[in-house]
Structure 1
Amino acid sequence: MRWVVVGSSGYIGEALCRYLVAAGFSVCSVSRQPFGPGGVSHRQVENYCPDTCAELFSAGDRVVFAAGLSSARDCRRHPARANEVNYQLPLAILQAAESAQAESFLYLSSVKAVVPPDGEIAGEWAGEPAPDVYGNSKWRAEQKLLASGATIRVNILRPAAVYGEYVSSAGTSGRGAEAVKAKRAYAWRQRFRAWGQLFPWVPATGWRSFVALEDLLSAIYLVVESNSDRETFIAAEPQFYDLARIASVASGRRIKSSRFGAAVLLVPARLLALVGVKTGFLDVQRSELYSSARIKNALNWRANRRYSQYLRGLDGDR
């Protein structure tokens, strides 16, 4: 049984390829890059079109769509590109997979596809479709995929904010996008530690959900291995974090939230909003909390790692 990972040069796609290779599966990676992760067969696709997509799949393939324009800022700047990659491309890939009689198709979406009620722990059907370019492109893709007439199994997985990196049993970690993101995350962890040592407060923010990359990979595996069809799942840890808690855990000191500090820092964003310029900064005071109870109950998935452990460096400093 072959796995086909579309978007193998990305943060999650690269890690998923190595995770599956370590588990002994045959893996085909697909991306615009000339090379894929080690141990996989690779297909470079510089221009996705019906002809190139039709050549990617074989009967019985398990297709995971991990591609996409994931930066909300890039999506705001290039809405047509976001629509193409996050919405139109997965529909084309599903059609090609269906024509080849693949076994299943999994779309990696995002919790950002829906705006949950502020401060409530949301499940898969709580909240409203996201109005921003990034979230809305994901939401529209979800709806089209779930409503498709494809005979193969189609499922949606929405991860919370993903952190960390995947280290295989051989002790190797990412060399491409995953390594870059891990390096950036490590730098931010060091900044949080430094801030906590210098200042007793941080601007007040809402609370957020996270999920470790390795836990997300196990969730992907369980969904694809299951008999689930036309299902939507959320993958998130049971704990939540605001900026004060992040700084406190990272620094080992008690850091307080300052609403006044947040109000001052958000003045420019509020002024821009008055003249019609939208930014994501005003959303930092909303709490976006998610429950993964559904995937736990249906597939016995558990989040084994915690963001607090990562912030303290208990996963091993790099």
Structure 2
Amino acid sequence: MTETTYRSGFACFVGRPNAGKSTLTNALVGQKIAIASSKPQTTRHAVRGIVTREDGQLVLIDTPGLHRPRTLLGERLNDLVRETWAEVDVVGVCLPCDQRIGPGDRYIVSQIAELRNKPKIVVLATKTDLVSKARVLSHLVDVGKLGEELGIEWADVIPCSATEDDQLDVVADVLMGLLPEGPMYYPDGEITDEPEETLIAELIREAALEGVRDELPHSIAVMIDEIIPRADRPEDKPLLDVFATLVVERDSQKGIVIGHRGSRLKEIGTEARQQINRLLGTPVHLSLHVKVLKEWQRDSKHLNRLGF
């Protein structure tokens, strides 16, 4: 009886903003580690999700969407994407079936093709649940043409849907199979190396993004000020006090986030608290404040302070 090869390595999902990268990462990991939103450019740092199986360990890196930067933050996010590409074994290019392949997609793939140490490239034709079978087939033909046009041989092309669990087992098998032989990098059972504080801040930001106006999402950041266990609670009924600040760029935005008599801020707190409770498995009391940092996306000092 031959021993099966244990494979391990890193794969990242890339694509235009809102191509389904974070949703796919969460679905493969089996738990929410990356926030997902209908707003483009939701992801702001490389989030690692860990998939451990008997035959190997796949470390998935969800990256921000590559875009034309308008701010210093945008430039730093694009740099982060390019740094990640250069370090992984496999790149999964997300080309959603509900959108035509455009110049942005061509640009992303051509950039990966120019890397000195070329990773294997898999195309993930995401969001199959949103379109007809005929549209999926037409999309796959376009994917084939894109490869020919750029002189790239795809390692695989997989139509899939993260929300409907369509072909996710195939995605996991293909990615795992393309990894080199290697050791287990993370202990079995660990699903991310993200600090809890970062995950909590992201869940608050996700709650804040829902229902805000189009110009506001990019202006919102979250800082965790303090996380402390409530002192007077019995051991079997713990409560965590989480103090966080929502950062915006202008006074008018502060008003939008707070809402009439604080109604919007209360909604954000309620939604975020439920998600944080689920993440930590401990009841949480969440205290939110809103602060203005003028034009923080363009200010290197503010960006450094906010962790970018």
TM-score scaled by length of structure 2: 0.27
TM-score scaled by length of structure 1: 0.26
